[in-house]
Every structure is written in C-alpha cells, then in structure tokens.
A = this chain, B = another copy of it.
Amino acid sequence: MRNSSYRFIKAYALYTTDYYTQSMGLILVYTGDGKGKTTAALGLVLRAYGHGLRSIVAHVMKTLIYRGQWVGEYSALLKMSDLVEVYYMSEEALRTPRDVFNKAIERSIMIKPFLLVLDEVNNAVNGGLMTSREVIDGLRKLPNEVNVVLTGRNAPSEFLELADLVTEFKPVKHYYDKGIVGVMGLEW
C-alpha cells in the first residue's frame, strides 16, 4: 500500500464488505530461487483478463526473442492485446531495464491498469541496473487502483517491507539438476 489515506479507505472497505472485490493497489512480491515466479505473474494477467481488467507487463530484464522465436507468453499475450500491453528490453533500441520500468510506470499512470507486472525487477536491482529507491519512487507515483507484482530472486528488503503479499518460491527439486536446462512451453 502506497499511502496512508488509501490505507484508511481499505480499512473502511473491510468493514463494509465481506469480500473486497475491487482493485486496491496491492503490492505482491514473488521471489526465491524456485521455478514459477514469472509464470505466476502471467497467471494473474490471465485471470485479470478473464474479468475484462487491463494489465501492463514490463519484462525489465528480458528480450522477447529466444532461440529465434517469440517467447510463448509474448505470443499468447499478443492475442490479448485489447487489454494487455507488454514492454521489454531491446538491444537495438537501447532499451535498458530503467527505460522499460519508466515506460511501464508512465503508461500505468495514463491507463490505470488493474495489474502491473514488473517482471525481474528484483534482479535489475540486485544487478545494480536500477536502485530500489527509484523502483519505490516509481511505485509511489502509481494511481491507487493499480496492483503491482514484482518478480525475481532475492527481492530487496525494502520491497518485502512495502509488500502486502510475499511468496517465496522455494526449489525443493528441479529438473535442472538432472541436466534438463530448458523446456519450450514450460520455461519460455
């Protein structure tokens, strides 16, 4: 939650409805070393889409071509382009993680999506490509109704503190360990 007046509105809503069903600017963090973080964020996009709600997906650390073809999620999200916008890195256009992030924040301020996915933003901070401060400053600019998902390993402690929900994806067993390093349709 991003500001105290909004916190009041949310607290009030909890007393007036049994299930609070409206968008409320929640911050979700999907972190940990296990498989499924980006995938779960994509599942949220799917679910929101089913309700006719808008999403913006910002892949701050990924290009959308892998092994000569679009990654699966991009091809799929293109078919939802009536409600979903996707931003991504691009070497040619010199789009850095910061550029992608800023674009996503700017568009979110403009179109007020239900959901903003900042995919791999935790890694961008860990890798020194962005600071947690500038991410948080960006989040504070968002309209109150935008729910945000931050994904990536080792989420900075500032994000954990700010978050309304944190799930750690803990790898108990991974097929990487058997030498299976990538499966099209499951990994990309």
Contact = CB atoms under 8 A, between A and B. Distances in A.
Given A166-B173, A185-B53, A14 B180 contact: yes
Given A48-B72, A175-B165, A114 B43 contact: no
Copies in the complex: 2
Interface residues of A, number: 70
Interface string A151-184: 0000000001001111111111111001111111
A21 interface: yes
Given A26-B186, A169-B167, A175-B165, A43 B38 contact: yes
Contacts of A21: 67, 182-184
B46 A76 contact: yes
B172 A23 contact: no
Nearest to A187: B47
A4 B136 CA distance: 51
A46 B21 CA distance: 24
A60 to B, nearest CB: 18
Nearest to A182: B19
Nearest to A44: B39
Given A40-B43, A43-B43, 6 more contacts: A21-B67, A24-B183, A39-B47, A45-B46, A46-B76, A164-B178
